[in-house]
Amino acid sequence: LSRLSPGALELASTLGEGGMGIVHGARQLSLEREVAVKTLKKDQRTPSAALKLLREAWITGALEHPNVVPVYDVGLEADGSPRIVLKKIAGRSWAELMGDAKEVRRRFHASDLLEWNLRVLMQVAGAVHFAHGRGVIHRDLKPENVMIGEHGEIYVVDWGIAVALRDDGSGRLPLARDATEMAGTPCYMAPEMLGGRPGLLTPRTDVYLLGAILFEIVVGHAPHEGDSLMEIIHRIARSQWDLPAE
Q: Which of the residues are catalytic? A: 140
**What does residue 166 show for φ and ψ, rounded to 5 degrees?**
-125, 140
Distance between CA 37 and CA 11 in Å, rounded? 8
Q: In angstroms, what CA-CA distances link 117 with 52, 61, 96, 165, 212?
A: 31, 27, 12, 29, 13
**What does residue 62 show for φ and ψ, rounded to 5 degrees?**
-80, -15
**What does residue 147 show for φ and ψ, rounded to 5 degrees?**
-105, 140
Query: Furthest-apart CA pair in the chain: how many Å?
Result: 60
Closest CA to 180 of 163, 198, 192, 207: 198
Distance between CA 111 and CA 114 in Å, rounded? 9
Name the strand (E) or helix (H) holding 235: helix 229-238
Decide: 54 and 80 in contact? Cβ < 8 Å: no
Q: In angstroms, what CA-CA distances link 84 with 1, 137, 166?
A: 12, 21, 24
Residues 6+ apart with CB under 8 A from 180: 195, 196, 197, 198
Amino acid at 73: D
